[in-house]
Amino acid sequence: MMNNRSSDTIYLLTFFLSLILVGALLLSLPGVWAGGGRLAAVDALFTATSAVCVTGLITVDTAAFSRFGQLIIMLLIQLGGLGIISFTSLLLLVPGHRLPFRRLRTIKSFSVDGVERDPAKIVRSIVIFTLVSELAGAVLLQLIFRREGVDHSWFAALFHAVSAFCNAGFSTFPDSLERFRTAPDLLAVVAMLITGGGIGFIVMHDLSRWLRRKKRQLSFHTKLILSVSFVLVGFGTLAFLLLERNAAMADMSFWQKFMNSLFQAVTPRTAGFNTIHQTDLGQASKMLTMILMFIGGAPGSIAGGVKVSTAFIVLMIMLRRANEQGEIQVFHKRLSPVIINSAVVYFTKAIFLLICATGLITLFEASRGLDLGHIAFEVVSAFGTVGLSLDLTASLGSWSKLVLIFTMFTGRVGLLAVVYLGDARRKYNIVYPEADILIG
C-alpha cells in the first residue's frame, strides 16, 4: 500500500509536471513568440520549466515573447513559486472539501511549532504575504521605471516584482538589469523582494508576530536562518567589493560599487537577476557565486539550493562530533539524528546530481571543447534555480538542454521528493549485526 509521504510526493510531482507541460503548450501557441521564425519545442519546454521552477535560465530572450507570452511566463512563475501551496489552495477553496490528514501534514511542513499550526492559516498567510509583497514592489518599481523612461512601465514593474519575489530572475529586458546598475533605489527594491521571497514564509511570519509583540522571542529556526543569511550576504558583499572594485566595477563610484556588490551577493540566492555581466567577473568571483547558488535560500521559501539550514548542519557535522545518541549540540540546542540524517542525505544527493549533470553535458558537448568551469556554473545555476549564466545555456544542444531541464526540475521539487520517497519509516523485527567499517 502506498505510504502517505509517497502519495503526497506523487501529487506534488504531478502538479509541477502538469504545470510545465501546459505552460510549454501555451508558449507554443501562435502569437506568443514574436522573435521571428518558430519557437522550437525544446525551447518552449525549457522556458516553461525554468518559469515553473522559478529558475530564470533561458535559451531564448524573454523580451522576444509577445506581451501575451510574457504574461503566460509571469503566471507560470507565480504558480510555480507558490508550488504546493498553489495546489493546496485550490483544494481548500472547494466548498465542503475536507483535506485528508496526510495533506494537512504536508502543509504543516511549511511551518514549525511555535510559529503556526493551523493549515488553513498557513496557506492564507503565505498567499496574502506573497500578493501584498509583489503589489508593493510593483508600485515602487513602476515609479522607478517611469523615471528611467521604460515603456509600459506598469507591466514591466509587475513582471519584475513577481519574478523577483518568486526568485525567478526572468526579465523583460534583454540585458536583465544591467542598464540599471547605476540606479541604487531600483537595486534596493529588487534585493528586498528577492530577500522576502528567499528568506521563507516561516521566518517572515515569525518576525511579524514578534514585532507585534504576540510572542516573546523568535523561534530557533528564525534566528538560525537570519544569522546565516546575514553572514552569507555580508561576506559576499565584502568579497565581491574587494574582488571586483578595480575590475568589473572599475567605472563605478564607491556607492555604486557597494550596491552592485550587495546585489551580486543577494541574487545568487536563487534570484538570477544581474547588474554585472557574469562573464566579466573574475574566477574567484565566479567560484563564490557558485557557492552561494548551491546554498540558496531558506527552507519553506520560494528559493532553491540545498538551503542555508542544510549547509549549516553539514558544516556543524564537519566541525563537531556527535555524542553517543548521534546528536550534535549547537547554541544550547540539540540537532537530532533524524535532522542530521536528512541534511546529509539531501546534501549528498545534491552533489551527486551536480556531478552527473555536469558529466552528461560535458559528454554531449565534447566536440565543442567547452570549459568545464562554465558547464559547472550553468548546472549549479539550474540546480539552485538561480538563472545566472555565462552565456552558455542558449548555445547548448537539445540533449544538454534536456539535462538542464531535469536539473531545474529536480532542484525545485524532485530532490525533495526523492528524500521523501526514501524516507518511509517501516518497522522491522529483524536486528542486523552492526557493520565494522573503516572511515577515512
Backbone phi, then psi, for 333, in 5-degree steps?
Answer: -130, 160
How far apart CA 200 and CA 5 sit, in angstroms, is 22
Q: According to the model, what pLDDT value does residue 268 have?
A: 93
Q: What is the pLDDT of residues 333-359, one digit of tens each?
A: 888 888 888 889 889 999 999 999 999
Model confidence band, residue 93 (pLDDT cutoffs 50, 70, 90): very low
Q: What is the count of structural domains for the chain?
A: 1
A 10 A CB-CB count for 342 gives 15
Does residue 375 belong to any structural domain of this protein?
A: yes
Give phi and psi for 160, each to the nearest 5. Answer: -75, -30
* Residue 370 domain flag: yes
Q: Report the C-alpha gap between 356 and 362 in whole angstroms.
A: 10
Q: Model confidence at 400, in pLDDT bands (50, 70, 90)?
A: very high
Residue 440 placed within a domain: no
> Which pLDDT tens digit goes with each residue over 302-337?
788 898 989 999 999 888 877 878 888 888 888 888
- 258-267 tens-digit pLDDT: 999 999 999 9
Query: What are 130's three cell numbers?
Result: 506573497
Q: Is there a domain that residue 437 lies in?
A: no
Does residue 364 belong to any structural domain of this protein?
yes
Rounded to 5°, angle at Cα 31 from 25 and 37: 90
How long is the chain? 440
The boundaries of the domain holding residue 139 are 4-421
Is 9 a domain residue? yes
User: CA-CA distance, 277 to 231, in Å (whole number)?
Assistant: 25
Q: Which of 99-103, 269-273, 426-430 has the lowest mean pLDDT?
A: 99-103
Burial class (CB in 10 A: 0-12, 13-18, 19+), 37: exposed
Whether residue 108 is predicted with pLDDT greater than 70 in this model: the reply is no
Query: What integer pLDDT is reported at residue 147 of this predicted model?
Result: 95
**Identity of the amino acid at 56:** G
Q: pTM for this structure?
A: 0.87
Query: Would 405 be classed as within a structural domain?
Result: yes
- pLDDT at res. 429: 64
**Does any domain span residue 110?**
yes
Q: Are 115 and 208 in contact (CB under 8 A)?
A: no
- How many Å apart are CA 205 and CA 196, to the nearest integer? 11
